[in-house]
Chain A
């Protein structure tokens, strides 16, 4: 049991996918216009991640090594389609605001990265916990960034007005530039606090996406 808690701690704090490993930057920046959107995206990604880890772990002895990446992609894409249909049917408002970024969960490097680095080498239960940990870590990161942008941009949090109405709101933070700006300051604060991020290492000659990259962090570690 302890090792499962370890996996969750690992995903949330030690190797937080968005803040420490700098993976999945597209959704991290794109859908965090509000804390609620960040939460919705985080949970959708977590759902895909948990089930893709489970399925890939169960199939890991059946999938031939040479075609493992296309096989992983098919598994992930099917799960994303299911999540897309469920959000469209039961959470139309969320579906509307996340839009294109739901199908784009397919190319989120976190999911393929975990499939390759963890699920294809570990048993199903451990893989589920790894998915929960990484998914939670991603959700928390998105909520933090979404909260900062929403709070500075309009003085609200989760859609509830916190600052007095007289606060004019700095609109640019809910627009595209605000995403880059908030992320820049979050990484700068982490640098200042000496929290080691991969921000300065991951990127050389690497798309940030672990499927094709040999230098990427998730390739190095096997739990």
Chain B
């Protein structure tokens, strides 16, 4: 149990997927204009990473390892993620229109979000068990949600202040991210 809590803390805070691993930067910078959209994207990412970690674990350990095909992991994982996102999208559309309304538009974007593939590969590297893989996926998603919502809140404040002209737009956002990353470096004290 402590082990699982440790994994959540590590993936969500210490090795924050965006601010220390640089995965999913595109959407982090791109879709962080409003808090509400950011939160929905975060939820969608958490959902997809959780499922993708589970499926990737099963495929890796029950298909790739027995057939000695582990070198195919990159190809298999990316295809599985792409197919999975399509499936989740269709499934949500049929069963839960409300959830689809909230998450739907973000789902196609997530296929190319490197965080999903990154987590699947890290799980294999760390030789996590099934439960550990899913927990680490969800933890990563939570870390992503936390940082994108924080950035969105900072950006709504930035919109109301005067910024030197060359820094308007992307540079000030990158600088805010830099300051957030410094704050998150503090969490490395938690690493055991």
Contact = CB atoms under 8 A, between A and B. Distances in A.
B112 A212 contact: yes
A204 B30 contact: yes
Contacts of B113: 107, 207, 209
Interface in B148-186: 165-175, 177-179, 181-182, 184-185
B23 interface: yes
Contacts of B9: none
Interface string B62-77: 0000000001111100
A12 interface: no
Contacts of A189: 166
Given A176-B20, A180-B177, A207 B30 contact: yes
Contacts of A156: none
Interface stretch (A57-65, A78-86, A117-125, A161-169): A78-86
Given A29-B22, A77-B74, A191-B165, A103 B121 contact: yes
Interface residues of B, number: 52
A202 B29 CA distance: 10
Binding site secondary structure of chain B:
helix
Given A81-B75, A181-B174, A188-B167, A104 B26 contact: no
Nearest to B26: A208
Nearest to A77: B75
Nearest to B74: A103
Nearest to B106: A207
Binding site secondary structure of chain A:
helix
B118 A212 contact: no
A222 interface: no
Contacts of A74: 75, 79
Nearest to B173: A184
Given A81-B75, A185-B171, A209-B109, A25 B181 contact: no
Given A77-B78, A78-B75, A106 B182 contact: no
Nearest to B83: A70
Given A26-B114, A100-B118, A109 B167 contact: no
A212 B109 contact: yes
Given A26-B22, A106-B117, A208 B174 contact: no
B111 A211 contact: yes
12 contacts: A73-B79, A78-B75, A85-B71, A104-B121, A107-B114, A176-B181, A179-B22, A180-B178, A184-B175, A205-B31, A206-B30, A207-B113
Interface of B: 19-27, 29-31, 33, 71-75, 78-79, 82, 105, 108-114, 117-118, 121-122, 125, 165-175, 177-179, 181-182, 184-185
- Which 3 pairs between the two chains have the least Cβ-Cβ distance? A208-B26, A184-B174, A180-B178
